[in-house]
Every structure is written in structure tokens, then in C-alpha cells.
Amino acid sequence: MRATQATVNLAALRHNLSVVRQYAPHSKVLAVVKADAYGHGLLRATPGLEDADGFGVLRLSEALALREAGYSQTLLLLEGVFSADELMAAAEHAISIVVHNEQQLQMLEQAAPQLQHPLQVFLKMNSGMNRLGFRPDAFLAALERLGACSAVKSDIVLMTHFATADDERGVAPALDIFLRGTAGLSYPISLANSAAVLRHSTAHHDWVRPGIMLYGASPVTGVAAASYGLQPVMQLTSEVIAVQELKAGETLGYGARFTAEDEMRVAVVACGYADGYPRHAPNGTPIAIDGRISQTLGRVSMDMLFADLRHLPQAGVGSKVELWGQTVPVDAVAEASGTVGYELLCAVAPRVPFKVVG
């Protein structure tokens, strides 16, 4: 069997959930498991998060899979529903929904006579990200309509999402917009994503919504996940399947992107962009061989990539390779490649087999 595989560490998930509770001890935790639990596998990852107070998903099918697997916690559709059929199914299975536009509000009002079970609704305000949500001047009117709708439970949660929680601008402007727009209301509140959980305690409130931090990657560019006490959950590994001896002036791979200055040994690793490793990773992207840090060389191809063996004389065919995980943080690969850890974790290809430990 081909060597590339990924491992999901449930103990690390449990640890990272405990870190969330350390930072936000008075908040309920809605663990975000959308995008197949950020590439880790929805039903592979959730056993490590079973102590969360709820789960945030994108698709109705994900919520139904969690209900079928026996999860009784709050399940929230983060973009809400898009049809009357989805609305009926959400009500039948006690799945909470976000309402963020007029069409969804009307759908609830029109379906109310047919719904046997009212739904819990999270009402979203657009506090400046300009992606989803009612603008502040329309928010109270939407809330009043939800309060009058028999399809909606009384425990409406008020929410927004921060655009700059991860950088120096912080959450203060958006938080001020939200708090002024909801002044005097006594509903539960949900505001904080991973970056706000870690950096902005004023945004914690009743529910926090951690995502990337649960998987041991950092929501803040340039700040190591380990500095927040987080542990990597996914380890992507492979092995060396060939070694090339280059002479000075010889090149590597497609496009001849690397030229040897002197004689050198190069490892050929059984992992490429068809496995989810970024094709645009440049020369020098960190990689670990037999537990020691090295660097990639040349252009990543579909099924293989190259790594430097100049300082690893004992390494050869069969040597173990970590693309990211315990030794090489996924954020380090992402930073070298000009992207974010979220993308790399979510991009692991279906052909890569997973195993679960811990």
C-alpha cells in the first residue's frame, strides 16, 4: 500500500477543547466541525469533542449524520437552511439554524403552521464583515418577527462574526456595533471564533464558536499554535521511495526549479498535490525525515515531492517522512506556501487513508 496516510489524534482534540474552556471558562462551547471537521473526518473527529456543548456544521447532511450517531447536543447549521424541505428536516431532528436574511425569515413565517416542533434560532447581525447577517438597523425588526413566529423557540441566540479578530485591529469596532444594536436585550449571545477565544475575552459571552484551534492550528498568522497550548491533531506522513544523487548543475523535477550547486543527495517522497500537499510550496518548505527537520526542493508534482538529504546521511529509501504534524506544524508549511493551515487541513485528498488514535 502507498505510504502516504493521515492520523487523527483524539487525545489532542480533547486537550484542545480543554484549552478553549481555559480561555472561556464561563461560555458554552459550540465546536465547529464544518468542512468534514476541517478535513479530519466528521465522525472520526467528533468522538474527541463529545464533551462540547454543541457542534456547528454547514450542511444539513452533516447535522443528520451527527444525530444518527447519537449526538444529542445543540447542532447548528451555520448558514441556516435554503429550502422548506431543509427547514422541516431541521425541525424534525431538533437542529438549530442561523437566520441571516429576509428569505430565511419569511421561510420560517410561512412554514410555521406546518411545523410540529419549533426551532432554536441564532439570529445573525452583520457587524462589518459584510458577508452574512442583518444590518444593525434591520436587526431588531428581524428579532421581533422571530419572537412572534410560532416556528421559533423563545431562546433565540444573537450572534455576529468578526472579520479582524486575528490581527491588530481586533474586535472592538464590530463588538461595539453589535452591543449598541442589542442594548437592553436579554437574549443569549454568541460572538467569538477561535481568534476571539484566544485574544479577546470581552467577546466570549454565552456561546463561543472555536474552529481551527480545536485542530491544533493557529488562527493568528505568525503566532505558533503551541504558544496557546494547542496540540496538533492531524499528522500527515509518508516515506522516502527513492534517492537521487545529483551532480553540480543538475536540476530537479518539473520546470527545473532547483539546481544543485554541489554534489548532493535528494529524497523522493511519496506525497504530492493529489494527496493535498500544496503544489505551490516553494524550495525550503519545512519537512521532517526520520524526525529531523529538512526542506523541500523543486516543484511538487502530483504524486511525489523532493527533500534535501545533505545533512541526513543515514536517511534513505524507507525513511519516515512527516509532511506536517508533531514535528512540522501545519502552519509552518502554510506560511511557507503563502496560505493558511485551514486550507491545508481541509485539502487532504480522499485517496489518503486515515487512522484514528488516542
Catalytic residue flag (residue 254): yes
Please determine, for residue 270, whether its predicted confidence score (pLDDT) is greater than 90. yes
Q: What is the pLDDT of residues 24-42, one digit of tens each?
A: 999 999 999 999 999 999 9
Catalytic residue among 153, 187, 215, 254: 254
* 3-class secondary structure, 136: helix
pTM of the model: 0.95
* 100: number of Cβ within 10 Å: 23
How confident is the model at residue 23, as a pLDDT?
A: 98
Cα 33 to its chain centre, rounded Å, is: 7
How confident is the model at residue 34, as a pLDDT?
A: 98
Round the average pLDDT of the chain to a whole number and report it.
Answer: 97
Q: What is the pLDDT of residues 171-194, one digit of tens each?
A: 999 999 999 999 999 999 999 999
Please determine, for residue 145, whether its predicted confidence score (pLDDT) is greater than 90. yes
Catalytic residue among 23, 28, 34, 215: 34
User: Are the C-beta atoms of residues 119 and 155 closer than 8 Å to each other?
Assistant: no
Q: Domains along the chain?
A: 10-218 (3.20.20.10), 234-357 (2.40.37.10)
Q: What is the pLDDT of residues 201-227, one digit of tens each?
A: 999 999 999 999 999 999 998 899 999
Q: What is the pLDDT of residues 105-136, one digit of tens each?
A: 999 999 999 998 999 999 999 999 999 999 99
CA-nearest of 307, 323, 219, 315 to 273 is: 323
Catalytic residue flag (residue 320): no
How confident is the model at residue 221, as a pLDDT?
A: 87
User: Are the C-beta atoms of residues 238 and 7 closer than 8 Å to each other?
Assistant: no
